[in-house]
Amino acid sequence: MHWQVIFPLFIFLIIIFGIGIWSNKHVRSSNSFLQEYFLGGREMGGFILAMTMIATYGSASSFIGGPGVAYNKGLGWVLLAMAQLPAGYFVLMILGKKFAIIARRYQAITLIDFLRERYNSHVIVILSAISIIVFLFSAMMAQWVGGARLIESLTGLNYTAALFIFAASVLIYVIIGGFRAVALTDTVQGSIMVIGTVILLIGTIVAGGGIDQIMTSLVAENPKLVTPFGAEGELTPLYVSTFWILIGVGVVGLPQIAVRAMSYKDSKSMHLAIIIGTIAIGTIMFGMHLIGVLARPVMPGIEIGDKVMPLLTLKVLPPFLAGIVLAAPMAATMSTVNALLMLVSSTVVKDIYLNYVKPTANDGEIKRASFIVTTVIGLAVVVFALNPPDLLVWLNLFAFGGLEAVFIWSVVLGLYWKKANKYGAIASMITGMTLYIVIDRFYPSIFGMHTVTIPIVASFIIFVIVSYLTANKFKDEKIFI
């Protein structure tokens, strides 16, 4: 590996550290520790909000796994990836102002704070906390393994050493800087993701001799590569359309995304974030997946999909630019991991410790607990990532779809439907999760649709039915929505 490639990566790490130290000043001087540490004092402006949303959403799979699949399936996979465009505007428009207003009124720091105030139910708090901790812990481990593998392949270090470098760089700034550090580093990371995508896209088109020539070679190899149906006609319109639910619309139910919708400063920031976020997510998803397809004629014969992006970068770009572009998947992994770590830690501290273990804790104790919990969870992930247990690997498969199925309706109906009550919410959470796991295990792509479709539809129906059936118990309850 060339030193010129490693140099930009190194600079990137230094900047990230600097942000962590700077944010720690805010954490130490803030008069509301919880709000500062876990929400950055609700001060995010539009650009930062957009970047932290897209950086959290875009993970290693957008930069490494996705282009690898596109390499094998062709333009149909880019079409499917474009279903992610709504992630840029839909969450902020749906949760939008209402969530921001209600979260402030309830003084909610976490998504679970909102659910607790809205539904008044310990069962919901505990169910939600367990699903967040279990699923996101395993998701975090998977990202951690991915990050370490990436450093391993870029630097030639062994896996353990790579894991420690990755862990040390993420843990330090998250622990000392809290949410503010996470959001600010996300801004740097998100920008690198967008810039890296554009550089690599241009480099690949030039290396391939222009779009016309690349398309001609693709058609010559297999005309299906340029259809919407995939190299073997496996991407049916129904499957691809139901994919929208998982990756475009269902994102509303992801706690690590939803919590960002209560962290911004004012409605101007929200408006700006919607447009910037949509442009950024469109650029990344379109660019990276198209790059995977274009790479096929440029570098034929790559067998392992995950190697397409790194190998292509080193081939088509000069070393220094390659370093910048390869910082993008690192940035994507770090920015996802840091959000998950913050979220799991806030769940343990705010939703479990402060609700059930020590409600009377003073500011000093909360501060200590937050630092300790974040550190312990971070280190635990590292230990598990050294030798990933099968159970966690298995749980990670359900993490995103499962969480969406659990949370989407309790959040959305809780915000917009007065009759939504705790029995409906509990029933829908359990239905969503159980169906998701059962369908994923035993009937994958049932009726030709994506796994997430039926759990989301069923948990909605159950929510409404149960809420109506139990409506008379809530006649006198006042609900401020």
* Footprint of another protein (CB under 8 A): 75, 78-79, 82-83, 85-86, 89-90, 93-94, 96-98, 100-101, 104-105, 210-212, 214-215, 219, 223-224, 226-229, 237, 241, 244, 248-249, 266-268, 271, 274-275, 278-279, 282, 286, 416, 480-481
How is residue 252 written in tokens? 């509303």
- Closest approach of another protein to the CB of residue 321, in Å: 24
Identify which of residues 1 and 415 has a Cβ nearer to another protein in the complex: 415
First to last CA, the chain: 57
Identify which of residues 125 and 293 has a Cβ nearer to another protein in the complex: 293
Tell me the three state secondary structure of residue 362.
Answer: coil
Identify which of residues 191 and 227 has a Cβ nearer to another protein in the complex: 227
- Closest approach of another protein to the CB of residue 79, in Å: 5
Q: How far apart are CA 428 and CA 462, in angstroms?
A: 6
Task: Note whether 432 and 405 are within 8 A (CB).
Answer: yes
Identify which of residues 10 and 480 has a Cβ nearer to another protein in the complex: 480
Q: How far apart are CA 160 and CA 145, in angstroms?
A: 10
- Closest approach of another protein to the CB of residue 297, in Å: 13
- Closest approach of another protein to the CB of residue 241, in Å: 6
How is residue 199 written in tokens? 């550089």
Tell me the residue length of the chain. Answer: 481
Task: Note whether 78 and 235 are within 8 A (CB).
Answer: no
Largest CA distance in the chain: 71
Identify which of residues 90 and 400 has a Cβ nearer to another protein in the complex: 90
Q: How far apart are CA 359 and CA 157, in angstroms?
A: 46
- Closest approach of another protein to the CB of residue 265, in Å: 8
Q: Burial, 89: exposed, middle or buried (Cβ in 10 Å; 0-12, 13-18, 19+)?
A: middle
- Closest approach of another protein to the CB of residue 307, in Å: 25
- Closest approach of another protein to the CB of residue 224, in Å: 6
What DSSP string runs through 157-197? --HHHHHHHHHHHHHHHHHHHHHHHHHHHHHHHHHHHHHHH
